Structure 1
Amino acid sequence: MPSPTPPPLGDLLDALSVVSIPLRTRFRGVTHREAALLRGPAGWGEFAPFLEYPPAEASRWLAAAVEAAWVGWPDPVRDEVPVNATVPAVAAGDVAGVLARFDGCTTAKVKVAETGQTLADDVARVSEVRRVMGPAARVRVDANGGWSVAEAVTALTALGRCDLEYAEQPCRTVEELAELRVALARRHVDVPVAADESIRKATDPVRVARLHAADLVVVKVAPLGGVRAALAVVEACGLPAVVSSALDTSVGIRAGVALAASLPRLDHACGLGTVALLEGDVAQDSCVPRRGAIGIREVTADPELLDRWAAPPDRVDRWRTRLADCHAELVASARMGA
């Protein structure tokens, strides 16, 4: 989808603040979350692509930040969004402490297939989540594409005994996901498959639906280029959707809430409680779940917190360069679509 022409680069650089916030627990190899925040006429936007993402991919995150800060979002159809707890690849003994940070959540997403860990570690972690939350809770796992089809069949056969809501991106490719769904069905393993990376990192996210590779899709605002772009992907896929985040501050979480609040159908709790994984935030009133949900409200970055978590000057320079590179990508995309 071609992007609208962004504001001038100078306006974006003038509106930029960069923060670096420690994580409570190492998550996907990250110990500090860096994010660039933009203040525009419509509010605040977050530009925080992970550091390894090249400009072509990271430019979608800038498009989402520009939408938030300069355009605003579609009108919501609900007042609050149910949220899941997120459990990193911690030891089973640490599970209860992690879950305690998510007020009232009755759904948990558990990271599995972590490099250096075993299936036994995953089973212990997921089993402990089930024990702590009880039989009525919904428990889902997220492998981030870490298994082959054969490994996924073995793992989900074992983990499925914990009564999983679904498995998120168990294999890397769309073709593998489609093969896995068939393999699970043949073995009577009743674990639905959700596509995440196959949606947000794909040039053609609708292939997931065409190849019958998933039972539902996980969508994230920033990697898809904004709320409106994500809504278009969900509509084109025609599958139930779960909205998730990418270790965002409250500014980024608010965009995810805007997407979830705009979806015509929302059957699952959303992965928008990840501010609880950070040691700090940029808003005084953090966008975290209360009684298992996040309500629709405005989120404003606080100047004192921006100063407290300000990134070092060399990192700010790096983000200014990233922003300029991504701005060039958006301008080129707009010209091609004109």
Structure 2
Amino acid sequence: MLPELADLLATARVVTLPMTSRFRGISTREAVLFEGPEGWTEFSPFVEYDDAEASAWLHAAIDFGWRAAPAGLRDRIPVNATIPALDAAEVPAVLARYPGARTAKVKVAEPGQTLSDDIARVRAVREALGPEGRIRIDANTLWNLDEAEHAIHALAPFDLEYVEQPCATVDELAELRRRIGYMGIPVAADESVRKAADPLAVARAGAADLLVVKAQPLGGLHSALRIVAEAGLPAVVSSAIDTSVGIAMGAHLAAALPELEFDCGLGTAAMFVNDVTEEPLLPRDGSIPVIRPAVSPRRLDALGADDERTAWWLDRVRRCHRIVERNISL
């Protein structure tokens, strides 16, 4: 059941969280929090997304705040460290924010950087984690097919767990998977799931070995679980640089999956200087608990966005609510 717009706005709090390192081109993260019958929930589509795409994120916020979460099969979720596209010398300090993590996701293909930068960064992670650590790389669609094949060959000696969204299109992923199949390096799809009109197309095309799923872009816990079940592929649950409230949404999704073969990208509270709770969902012994964190009024006040940004976000909520309402009525 869709809550009235007035019910959303009555508890809406717009926050701006400073980040420890620049990531995905941003150094602060904005979000809207609402308090629903099930607890606090989050709406935080990236600012460049149009209203049609952002409306799925609002549906997810409503799903988590106004609908009971699916039954969980586990009470803690193993998580990976996330390494931004930074200088190799900074890798040990970043890994230290993820105590106990045995897996690292390393950003590669950053605009303005070179493959040599990626190699140095991945090498530094391998040296820090040792031979038993797991390394996955994420290119965020930024390689073309030939660049991806070349880069994966160059990075293969570091024993990659998988390569995430190396190319933009489903056809490119399918062809790359064919080309590198003999190497035994799986291909994971992220943008081809969460930004696709048909999130199952990549699975039907045999273009990926596993899916990276994020609760907000996929419309919420129940929608994401349905997509994973229909795809029939292993899934890695990841955050979208959420606050601890959004990370909790992802943790509940990971807890409800029948199988959880891979460490999840839900340790990203470590990327924030401050969070909206006094006890952020930071990694401990390589995992986070499956809970709904208590949001702190003091933190909400300290992290509150200015009047201009608050108005911008609340207008966005109004527009997206109309889209969700229209979609539900169809």
Answer yes or no: same fold by TM over 0.5: yes
CA distance in 2, matches of 1:232, 1:98: 34
Any idea what the Cα deviations from partners look like across 1:46-93, whole Å, max 9, x if unmatched? Answer: 000000111111011111111111113111011211100000001000
Name the aligned partner's letter for residue 204 of structure 1.
D
Kept after mapping to 1: 8 A contact 2:59/2:219: yes
Kept after mapping to 2: 8 A contact 1:168/1:195: yes
- Aligned twin of 1:279: 273
Residue among 91, 94, 101 paired with 2:90: 94
- Aligned twin of 2:23: 27
Kept after mapping to 2: 8 A contact 1:34/1:48: yes
Any idea what the Cα deviations from partners look like across 1:201-248, whole Å, max 9, x if unmatched? Answer: 111111111110000000000000000000000001100000000111
**Aligned alpha-carbon RMSD (Å):** 0.7
Name the aligned partner's letter for residue 50 of structure 2.
P
- Aligned twin of 1:8: 4
- Aligned twin of 2:234: 240
CA distance in 2, matches of 1:16, 1:42: 15
CA distance in 2, matches of 1:162, 1:29: 26
Any idea what the Cα deviations from partners look like across 1:276-295, whole Å, max 9, x if unmatched? Answer: 01111001111111100112
| TM-score, reference length from structure 1 | 0.97
Name the aligned partner's letter for residue 162 of structure 2.
Y
Structure 2: gaps (5+ residues): none
Instruction: Please list, as runs of the form range in 1=range in 2, the aligned pairs for 1:1-338 lying within 5 A after superposition.
Output: 5-185=1-181, 188-336=182-330
CA distance in 1, matches of 2:106, 2:125: 8
Q: How many residues align?
A: 330
CA distance in 2, matches of 1:282, 1:274: 14
CA drift of 1:22 comes to 1.1
Kept after mapping to 1: 8 A contact 2:245/2:292: no
Kept after mapping to 2: 8 A contact 1:83/1:107: yes
Kept after mapping to 2: 8 A contact 1:6/1:327: no
Kept after mapping to 2: 8 A contact 1:160/1:190: no
- Give % identity: 52
Structure 1: gaps (5+ residues): none
| TM-score, reference length from structure 2 | 0.99
| SS in structure 2 at match of 1:283 | coil
Any idea what the Cα deviations from partners look like across 1:272-324, whole Å, max 9, x if unmatched? Answer: 00110111100111111110011222212100000010000100000000000
